[in-house]
Every structure is written in C-alpha cells, then in structure tokens.
C-alpha cells in the first residue's frame, strides 16, 4: 500500500496521476471527509474545522479508520492525505506501507492553491499558513519525516513526472528512504 502525504498544494495529486496507470486504486481521505461533511450540510470553508472536530471527538485516526474500511486490495491501494502517524498505523494493520511525501515551499504551494480555485482553499497566504499549522498540529510533519520516499516538487510538471517515474521505476522497500530533488 502506498501512502501519499505532503502539505496542501505540494503536488500530491500530480504524483497520484502518475501512479494510477500502474493499476492502483486511489482512496482519498479528503474525499471521505468531504462526503461526510456534505451529508451533514457543512459548508466547504468549514471542512477543516469539521475534520479537526471529528479527530478530537473520535481520536486522531478516525479518518484513516473510515478510509481503511474501503480498501479492497492493500497491495494495489494508494491512500492520499495521511496526516498523522496514528493514521499510518491504522493502514499498517491492513498491510505493508510505503510512505511517499511530496514537498514544495510555502510560496510555491500558495501559487498552486490559488490556481486550483477549490472552495475550501485559502484566499490569502496567511490563511494558507493557518491551515498549514492546523494540519501540522495533527502530526503531518511527523509523517513527512518518516517517509520512505521524498519527492521535492519545486519545478515544472514535466520535471515532477520524471521524478515520479524514477521513484516508481526503483520502488524500494518500506525500510529504506529515498529522496528525489
């Protein structure tokens, strides 16, 4: 099982797009959050608060548990959006995991988030940094630090695709760490 992590706007979705042709089923933890928020009538700009409240009420692993229920084949599943080591442990109960972290600087991420234009994205760098701090408070930095593979994404989309090909071409065991910058 592949676990994709990184700060908002780092380029996780582009990494996922490059991996999908290998036959992986993609489960997005954010989709699980958004589905539940929609069912409860929560506005898009309040989804982060909702996710955080659920973590406080049910434990830091709640979104991983809700996502893990959807796993059909652990060896061909890619999980997007892991934000804590507690979540990683939930997925380890389902099988071997390889954590892939995607990194980009705050300035680069902010420009990407502005271009993306999703309803729950930040409309100022200050709001983005507040969101970053919230996600870091969940333990996202710890997951990034424990990644088996780190992809630095500061260049073009084509450069990122080449890095992903390099990583996937030499996919390593969970005990090793590889950085592609």
**What's the confidence (pLDDT) of residue 101?**
96
Distance CA 9, CA 181 (A): 17
User: What number of other Cβ atoms are within 10 A of residue 40's Cβ?
Assistant: 8
Q: What is the pLDDT of residue 166?
A: 85
What's the confidence (pLDDT) of residue 174?
A: 39
pLDDT beneath 70, residues of the chain:
118-122, 170-181
- First-last CA distance in the chain: 23
| 3 state DSSP class of 32 | helix
CATH number at residue 42: 3.40.50.300
Q: What pLDDT is stored for residue 122 in this prediction?
A: 62
- Can you give the C-alpha Rg of the chain in angstroms? 16
Q: What is the pLDDT of residue 131?
A: 86
Tell me the two tokens of residue 93: 């109960």
Query: 0.85 exceeded by the pTM?
Result: no
Query: How many other CB atoms are found less than 10 A from the CB of residue 33?
Result: 22
Q: What is the DSSP letter of 24?
A: P
Residue 36, CB half-sphere, CA atoms under 13 Å: how many?
16
Look at the chain and report how many structural domains it folds into. 1
Domain that holds residue 15: 2-180
Tell me the pLDDT tens digit for each residue of 112-141: 888 887 655 567 888 899 889 988 988 999
Q: Residue 91 corresponds to which tokens in the numbers above?
A: 């997925």
């Amino acid at each position: 099982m592949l676990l994709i992590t990184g700060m908002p706007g780092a380029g996780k979705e582009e990494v996922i797009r490059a991996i999908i042709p290998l036959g992986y089923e993609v489960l997005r933890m954010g989709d699980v959050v958004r589905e539940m928020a929609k069912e409860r009538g929560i506005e898009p700009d309040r989804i982060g608060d909702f996710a955080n409240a659920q973590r406080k009420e049910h434990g830091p692993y709640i979104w991983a548990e809700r996502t893990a229920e959807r796993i059909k084949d652990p060896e061909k599943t890619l999980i997007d959006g892991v934000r804590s080591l507690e979540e990683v442990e939930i997925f380890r109960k389902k099988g071997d995991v390889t954590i892939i972290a995607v990194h980009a600087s705050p300035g680069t991420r902010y420009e990407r988030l502005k271009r993306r234009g999703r309803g729950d994205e930040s409309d100022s760098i200050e709001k983005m940094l507040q969101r970053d701090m919230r996600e870091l408070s969940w333990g996202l930095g710890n997951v990034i630090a424990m990644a088996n593979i780190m992809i630095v994404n500061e260049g073009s989309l084509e450069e990122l695709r080449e890095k992903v090909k390099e990583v996937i071409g030499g996919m390593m065991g969970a005990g090793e760490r590889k950085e592609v910058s």
